[in-house]
Chains A and B, each alone.
Chain A
């Protein structure tokens, strides 16, 4: 029997990486794609695309529409670009509610407005009942790379600092709680937000930021592992410095998840020169989306290709690339 795609291939961990390595890269092989960054750099332009499938479509802090704009804006921004133009493709299931669609489209407009990008082209397709799950959205975006900025794993060096733009896991904890019927206090909501303006300021303060990544699927665990592997360096995190909301940690405890592996939709990891870490953090904290920013670790020569965590009680453990979908534990 030929191998089949399972849900784990879409979860952003090892299975997704294998899918890309085995099927996608050999077919499309070129120097832009092979970088495997969130967006491709083509001369002075950056380009990216992403598809959005999420259940529930509406969640606390956002909906699929807001997500589809913020995601693409952020993917461009972490390439070191100023996002400019976005395209939208929507696949809508027969019977989908008109008002729901209006709500989704309006929040896309609001997000685009906040990010300062224009939605310049698009397409809609309607498929029969049960041939889609409500609505699927694809967006693509083009941005202009900021002069003098070079975001690339090859610039990551030992001694550099790791920054996170705020509390981790808020988005996944919100979605998982809604899916599993857990009640969350009002202040816990998806962190879904456009980060391009904050990133622009960070790069103004320090154009030599080595790496920026949007910590979406697979959480900061996945992103940091990818950076460590691509740059051939080690990364050591300090558990007590990583910002996690108590409520999010409780969701993790109940369902058996690791906050480091939870998806975010409005958080970036930055790898920055040691001496400018403080001023970059200060710049981040001027923004609402960066007010809880923190330095959480550093790049090391040792442990090349791996990510480690100094735990609160003084242990040291590996932070591995997440495997497959997050599934709640059984007891």
Chain B
């Protein structure tokens, strides 16, 4: 029996089920494989808040834009952040207007940029979840060791488990199971998700692995179990990557953090500890930023909680397209709206 036949059989006679894929990479993988349109009608996949760019607030972009305009400042960022609109501008527009904005792949690239440009202040836009945060922390440790004095962090790094806790407590959010993010779980391990108390499975990113994870969720429901299953055993361990966790704890402390669309979530953000505050650009060069609340019909916030499908937003595909996006979910390559637009809107 093929995987999809197994899913059909397990889903037969069940109520409508909603499974949330938390991670943006899963969202894209699901669309690329065309999984949504072969699932039985009573099994629905909804996307969650697992795209770092999407959950980053406007005022972070505004700060980044403001820093990029300062003389002798280089902003180093993941490419995804370039086109995200703040109140008035994007980093791409600032780069076109003359700001020095460098695209990097790994935070460690910042070490080289800073060393080669001693007269410039290099500011790394630290966004991302548990997956990227250890490398960012290692960058700070290396910079300290190398005596680099011109590398700084503007940080909005976030933790996934507190966001899931918040979603479960939200009465608007209706979810029967989670596809947990594989990359994040490599670092965190699976144990940390045990508070969920609904069926959940850590999934890989191949089409077949995602289908296996869905089968796992359906079986749990069938048998009345609520476990944190691991279908990505080759790389994910129950306790996670201890040395990555230690580096995180050494450099960062957890603080309450603002998530776009989800509001303030307790203990969900990472802040550079006081002993590393010489790397914190907001301490070294504080800026007063007045973010202007934009009055748009953008429903990114609801999309990120899985309570609204991208297609239910009246801007979707019209005023808001990848070419001229209004919300960040339409910009990031792993944004929910961008994935729906790119792969999901055109019916064959």
Residues of A whose CB lies within 8 Å of any CB of B are 4-8, 14-15, 18, 179-181, 253, 255-256, 258, 302-303, 306, 308-309, 311-318, 320, 323-325, 327-331
Contacts and interface: CB of A to CB of B under 8 A. Distances in A.
Contact of A327 (B3, B31, B82, B131): B82
21 contacts: A4-B96, A180-B105, A253-B205, A256-B334, A306-B346, A312-B207, A313-B211, A314-B2, A314-B38, A318-B348, A324-B322, A327-B79, A327-B80, A327-B82, A329-B25, A330-B53, A330-B78, A330-B80, A330-B127, A330-B128, A330-B334
A223 B283 CA distance: 49
Nearest to B325: A323
A14 B325 CA distance: 14
A331 B322 contact: no
A181 B322 CA distance: 29
Interface in B247-289: none
Contacts of A18: 323
A6 B205 contact: no
B92 A323 contact: no
A179 B333 contact: no
A309 to B, nearest CB: 8
Given A317-B31, A331-B128, A6 B93 contact: yes
A322 to B, nearest CB: 9
A181 B4 CA distance: 38
A258 B333 CA distance: 11
B205 to A, nearest CB: 7
A323 B334 contact: no
B211 to A, nearest CB: 7
A179 B79 CA distance: 13
Contacts of A318: 342-346, 348
Contacts of B80: 327-330
B319 interface: no
Contacts of B97: 4
Interface in B1-52: 2-4, 23-25, 28, 31-38, 52
B103 interface: yes
A306 to B, nearest CB: 6
Given A330-B53, A330-B80, A256 B28 contact: yes
B169 to A, nearest CB: 25
A256 B129 CA distance: 16
A318 B82 CA distance: 26
Contacts of A306: 346, 348
A328 B33 contact: no
Contacts of B346: 306, 318
A180 B108 CA distance: 11
A320 to B, nearest CB: 5
B83 interface: yes
A149 B128 CA distance: 53
B95 A315 contact: no
B207 A313 contact: yes
Given A4-B93, A303-B348, A318-B343, 20 more contacts: A7-B95, A253-B205, A256-B334, A258-B32, A313-B33, A313-B35, A314-B34, A314-B38, A315-B37, A317-B33, A324-B83, A324-B322, A327-B103, A327-B333, A328-B78, A329-B25, A330-B334, A331-B23, A331-B132, A331-B183
Contacts of B132: 330-331
Contacts of A308: 348
Nearest to A310: B34
Contacts of A330: 52-53, 78, 80-81, 127-128, 132, 332, 334
Nearest to B82: A327
A302 B347 CA distance: 12
A312 B322 contact: no
Contacts of A179: 105
Closest 6 CB pairs of A and B: A315-B34, A327-B79, A331-B131, A4-B96, A317-B34, A180-B105
Contact of A256 (B37, B82, B333, B343): B333
A331 to B, nearest CB: 4
B137 interface: no
Given A181-B105, A256-B25, A313-B207, A331 B32 contact: no
B208 interface: yes
